[in-house]
Structure 1
Amino acid sequence: MVKFRLPATFVVAQVRLQHGELAYGYANGWLDDASAVGIAEDLVATGAALPPVVELASVFKGELWRVPRIVDAIEVEPASAPDRVWLYLALAWLHEHKEGHADPLQVIEMLYADFDYPAEIDGLVRYLPAPPGARIGVDAIEERWRAYLYRRSTEYASRR
């Protein structure tokens, strides 16, 4: 399982999370306590916060022990797919920090498995055939990776 923590500054710059997405990211280890608080602060600042998120935003640095209990009170919206935004965030972080990984494409393959084989990134997985009519090879995968990130960033930009 691939796990790296994403700082609040990175997440907030990419997308305005919905409440359930914040809870999902924390529960699945993508966020540490301080980042969860930072994202809650952003949601409060934009006027998009419900009571548990407002409480989370009010947690002081010395009170981070309170974060798990507060996050547990945040409900995941039934119609949402919080893993989808976290797949995007993980791939965006990996793309920006490729140099820190010996084989970023292998990390993509692990994320592919961790996120239950999402069809939307089939074209980024080396051991799968390229999409029909698409070029093959590492450069082509890199191009599809950038295109995926652009599509998702455009989609999530509408939340701002």
Structure 2
Amino acid sequence: MNTLHIMLPYEYVISHIDLTWSDILFALEHNLMAKNAAVKYAYDVIEKEEKPTQTVLSLAWVNNDAEIDFYLNELTNQIVEQEDNTLQEKFLYLLLNWIFEHKEQFSDPLQMVEIIYVDFDYPEEISNFVRYMPSSEHRLNSVEASIDRLFKNWEMYLRAAKIKFSK
């Protein structure tokens, strides 16, 4: 799913969405965040909750990937799972937002959108800013104007997704 190999920093993710254990598990299974995100989240849970579980306390002190996997599986087995579609939509938003915020660092950010479009199994909600997809909007007179419209559509998607997923 993560052909671009973008690892979203934990601090970035928590600044954009309300994170859950299901989100952490999804992100780790799809290589969207580093394993230590689970440990960092455990620390955050300990700070916020009056009586964190022993599993959360144990996870906060692990130092290898196998232990992280063990405790994370324990935690996610104890909770009601989020729908895979919701998890996927959250990380679609986060990846696209990350690229948009850092677009100057990439030679072709719209190509990255195209790769994500394929990686996430062609989500309809982003098709209006994928270059090769047909547009229902009227034709523009120049390539530059068309590209500007793609970026505006991308930005509109991000605004709507931010409302849906933001803290």
Name the TM-score class by shorter chain: 0.7 to 0.9
Find the counterpart in structure 2 of residue 118 from structure 1. Answer: 123
| Segment drifting more, 86-95 vs 33-42 | 33-42
Structure 1 runs not aligned, ≥5 long:
none
Measure the CA separation in 2 of the matches of 1:56 and 1:84: 30
Measure the CA separation in 2 of the matches of 1:134 and 1:45: 53
Question: TM-score by structure 1 length?
Answer: 0.82
1:136-157 deviation digits (Å, cap 9, x = unpaired): 6110111111111111111123
Structure 2 runs not aligned, ≥5 long:
none
Measure the CA separation in 1 of the matches of 2:42 and 2:161: 22
Aligned amino acid, residue 22 of structure 2: G
The answer on whether the counterparts of 1:3 and 1:29 sit within 8 Å (CA) in structure 2 is: yes
Measure the CA separation in 1 of the matches of 2:119 and 2:64: 28
1:95-143 deviation digits (Å, cap 9, x = unpaired): 1111221111001000000000000101110000124458661101111
Query: Which protein shows a greater Rg?
Result: 2
Find the counterpart in structure 2 of residue 58 from structure 1. Answer: 60
Number of residue-to-residue matches in the alignment = 156
The answer on whether the counterparts of 1:55 and 1:70 sit within 8 Å (CA) in structure 2 is: no
- Pairs within 5 Å for 1:4-153: 4-47=6-49, 51=53, 54-55=56-57, 58-59=60-61, 63-65=63-65, 66-73=67-74, 74-75=76-77, 77=81, 79-80=83-84, 81-132=86-137, 137-153=146-162
Q: Identity rate of aligned residues, in percent?
A: 26
Q: CA deviation at 1:59?
A: 2.8
Find the counterpart in structure 2 of residue 3 from structure 1. Answer: 5
The alpha-carbon distance between structure 1 residues 44 and 116, as it changes in their structure 2 partners (threshold 3 A), is farther
Q: Secondary structure at the match of 1:137?
A: helix
The alpha-carbon distance between structure 1 residues 56 and 132, as it changes in their structure 2 partners (threshold 3 A), is farther
Q: CA deviation at 1:22?
A: 1.5
The alpha-carbon distance between structure 1 residues 117 and 51, as it changes in their structure 2 partners (threshold 3 A), is farther
